[in-house]
Amino acid sequence: MTRIIAFVQRKGGCGKTTSCLNLSGALAEEGRRVLLLDLDPQCSLSASVLNVRPGEHLLSSALIQATSLADLVRPSGLANINVIPADPDLARIELNMGLVAGRERLLRDRLRAERALLEGYDYVLLDAPPLLGFLTTNCLIAANSCILPLNPQDRSSRDALAETIASVRQVADESNYNLVIDGILLGQVKAHTSLGRKASAYMRRAWGSMVFETVIPDSIVVQEALNAHQPVTLFSKRSAPAIAYRKLCAAVLGREPRSSENVSTDVAS
C-alpha cells in the first residue's frame, strides 16, 4: 500500500523542502519507489532544487480539470525517484477557489482516482507551501501522515509550530480521521553551540515523544548537495547529515502507525 507523507510547516526556511528531498533519497537507497509531489507555487523542490520543470500539463490545471496526474510525472534523474513539478499558477488556485465545493479535497480525490499511478510507488512525499492555506490543507487531507520540520534555534519557527499542529489537529478532527503526525524533525541543529543544545532540549521538554530522536545537524554539505541537485545521502554518503537522514528513514519505515486520536492527545497546548 502506498504511503503518503506531507511535509508541513507554516514558517518558511525551516528545512521542509530539504527534509523532503533527503528523506526521499534515503528511502530510494532502501529500494523504495518514491514520487515527490511539489505543491509549493515557488517550485522550491522541483525547479529550484531538482531542476525539474513541468511538461505540457500543469499540476495547477490537473487539480481542477480531468488531466491525469500520471501525465505530469517527470524523471528526477535519481534512481527510484520521480517528480510531479509545481508551477506558479498554483498560487492562483488559492485565490480563485474560495467558493468551489470540496476545494480542500481536490488533491485527495485526484490521487484516489489514479490507483494505477499510486501502485507504482511505495511512498508519495508532498512538499506543502510554507502557509497554512488551501494547498497545505489539501496536502493534509490527502496524506496518511505528516512530518513537521523545524529549526529549533529559530524562535519564530518554534512559535509557528503550535499553529501548525493546531491546523493538523483540525484536519484530523474534521476531514481526515486517519491523519497522524510522524514527528517533529529538528534540523539545522548546531549541536556544538550552547544555543543549539538548549533549543533542542527545550523542544524535547515542550513536545516530548512527538520529537524524532534523530536530529539533523547543521552542515554546509547539505547546501552543497542541494546545489548539485542531489539528496545529501547520494552527494556525501558518509557525512553526518546523510547518516542522520538514514536514521530518520529507519524511523519512518519502522514506526507503527498511531491512531488518529493521538494527533489530538499528543499535542502540547
Phi, psi dihedrals of residue 14, rounded to the nearest 5°: -95, 0
**What does the block give as the cell for 134?**
488551501
User: DSSP secondary structure string, 105-151?
Assistant: GHHHHHHHT-HHHHTT-SEEEEE--SSSSHHHHHHHHH-SEEEEEE-
pTM value > 0.85: yes
Q: Are 211 and 183 in contact (CB under 8 A)?
A: yes
Q: How confident is the model at residue 97 (pLDDT cuts 50, 70, 90)?
A: low
- pLDDT over 80 (residue 231): yes
Q: What are phi and psi of 217, to 5 degrees?
A: -75, 150
Residue 155, CB half-sphere, CA atoms under 13 Å: how many? 1
Report which residue type is found at 207. Answer: W
Confidence class for position 268, pLDDT limits 50, 70, 90: very low
- Residue found under cell 554518503: 237
Residue 127 buriedness (CB in 10 A; 0-12 / 13-18 / 19+): buried
The pLDDT value recorded for residue 186 is 96
Q: Rounded CA gap, 249 and 63, in Å?
A: 30
Classify residue 102 as left (phi > 0), alpha (psi -120 to 50) or beta: left
What does the mean pLDDT of the chain come to? 89
**pLDDT score of 263 more than 80:** no
